[in-house]
Amino acid sequence: MPDVGEYRLGSKQVARLAGIPYRTLDGWLRSGLLICSSPARGTGTRREFSFVDVVRVRVVAQLRRHGVSLQTVRRAVRELTERWGVRDPLAQAERLVVVGEKLFWDLDDAALLDTISGQLAARPLVIVPLSQIAADTSVQIAQLRAA
């Protein structure tokens, strides 16, 4: 996964990169859906997001745009972590696939696994390319730094 070094972004910048309102990002963080590697430490301090943090936010934002509920995202992350041993599903899985309101993990080019039930899928698919989101995030952060 590309890296932009130790450069850290603030909440408003991350929300803008993800195409979501700041309040949405704040809600996801407060609910525990997402974590920030450098949380605010009291009044007058700010959250700072690493590259991987930004990728996670952008993945959740894209899943939401495709109709995946936050409950499904939470359950999928839990199942992929606990049952399938994926260390960081929102940043490390190669591809997540949306089918209707279901979320699938792309095992390989021929198999999609329902992250909740463990069954295989076969319907028209919407593919969320995590590696492409990571690459785009790297480019956008570099542009942000140059501005």
pLDDT band (50, 70, 90) for residue 59: very high
pLDDT band (50, 70, 90) for residue 1: very low
Q: Which amino acid is at 110?
A: A
**For the chain, which domains are there?**
11-146 (1.10.1660)
Mean pLDDT of the chain: 83
Three-class DSSP labels, the chain: CCCCCCCCECHHHHHHHHCCCHHHHHHHHHHCCCCCCECCCCCCCCCEECHHHHHHHHHHHHHHHCCCCHHHHHHHHHHHHHCCCCCCHHHHCCEEEEECCEEEEEEECCEEEECCCCCECCCCCEEEEHHHHHHHHHHHHHHHHHC
Average pLDDT over residues 93-104: 78
Rounded alpha-carbon distances, angstroms, from residue 93 to 26, 32, 128: 24, 20, 11
pLDDT surpasses 90 at 108: no
Model pTM score = 0.73
pLDDT of amino acid 109: 63
Q: Using one digit for the tens of pLDDT, what is the confidence trace for 2-29?
A: 444 567 899 999 999 999 999 999 999 9
Is the distance from CB of 116 to CB of 75 less than 8 angstroms?
Answer: yes
pLDDT of amino acid 125: 54
